[in-house]
Structure 1
Amino acid sequence: MTDALSTVNWLAVLLASLAHAVLGSAWFGGIVGRRYAAVLGLADRSPPKPGPLFLAGPLVCGAITVATTAILLRLLGIATTGDALALGALVALGYLVPMTVTIAINPLFPRPFAYALLNAPFFLLGSLAACAILVALP
């Protein structure tokens, strides 16, 4: 494990984390923004002004996910784009998407599966993009 940590390209992790954040901003701020509010039952409200937690939280959480994926790439000896994309899909479909569904299945989410369907493509695309960047910048 220590060897994997010492061989991670942390600049690649930073770049992949920033790409993930930009994708998230475009996804939730533009592509599915109105639908996202409707699925949460908030379509009739004005969006709140984003505070520091709203801006930094997703970046930090995304960076942790990207760093963990970078470590997995090293531990598994993945060096090709195809294998990296396979890992990205596995991480997204095996961890991120099911966790989104788990979080949404509670009384506070009026439409949990619609919520998950709006989030799933972002997590898949974000994980694939991160893995492509991480393997391209070994």
Structure 2
Amino acid sequence: MINQLANLNWVSVLLAFAAYFILGALWFTLFFSKPYKISLGRENETLPNKPIFIIGPALCSLVITIASAILFYTLNISSFNAALEFSLLIGFGFLVANTVNIAINPNIPRPILYGIISGSYHLAGILMISVILLIMK
């Protein structure tokens, strides 16, 4: 599978990454800021914006995008229906499930709310990645 790196349309990968990262910034700071803070038990606080809280998610989004592109090309996804199936499988099977699993720990006071907010972001993100990869393949 790793040999697919040479076949990737890197412009589409970078565009999909940028879209995914920007979606995350908007998701957690604009669209769902208050519920996100509630899920963390910090509804009356300003969340920190140290570099790790920007660079870390950016790197994770890049890894998710590249891994998705490798799978996308390996599986030869070439239709919208196949891209949707891929998005739902990867979205629910890995991204949402892993997000909820991470949320279920003593440090997250509202794990289900956190899982819904963060998991739905990743599901929307993988769908967006897939559409961009498909259109630009």
The answer to whether the 8 Å contact 2:2/2:70 transfers is no
TM-aligned CA deviation for residue 44 of structure 1: 2.1
What amino acid is aligned across from residue 87 of structure 2 in structure 1? G
The equivalences for 1:123-134 within 5 A come to 123-134=122-133
Structure 1 contact 81–136 (Cα < 8 Å) conserved: no
Shift in Å, 1:9:
1.1
Gaps in structure 2 of 5+ consecutive residues: none
CA distance in 2, matches of 1:28, 1:63: 18
CA distance in 2, matches of 1:45, 1:2: 43
Q: Any conservation in 2 of the 1:36–1:118 contact (CA below 8 Å)?
A: yes
Equivalent residues in 2 for 1:76-115, closer than 5 Å:
76-115=75-114
Contact 2:83–2:134 (8 Å) recurs in 1: yes
**Aligned equivalents of 2:47, 2:119: Cα separation in 1:** 22
Q: For 1:53-90, what per-residue CA distance to the aligned partner results, in whole angstroms no more than 9, with x for missing partners?
A: 11111111111101101000111111122211210111
Deviation at 1:4, TM superposition (A): 1.6
- Hey, what's the Cα distance between the residues in 1 that align with 2:55 and 2:46? 21
AA aligned to 2:12 is: A
- The Cα of 1:2 is off from its aligned counterpart by 4.4
Match of 2:17?
Answer: 17
Contact 1:16–1:129 under 8 Å retained in 2: yes
Identity of aligned residues (%): 36
Local SS of the residue matching 1:20: helix
Contact 2:41 2:109 in 1 (8 A): yes
Equivalent residue pairs, number: 137
Which residue identity is paired with 2:107? Answer: L
Whole-angstrom CA distance in 2 between matches of 1:90 and 1:54: 27
TM-score by length of 2: 0.94
Using the alignment, how far apart are the partners of 1:28 and 1:2 within structure 2? Answer: 32
Matches within 5 A, 1:1-138: 1-48=1-48, 50-138=49-137
Tell me the amino acid that sits aligned with residue 86 of structure 1: E
- SS of equivalent to 1:109: coil
Normalization by structure 1: what TM-score? Answer: 0.94
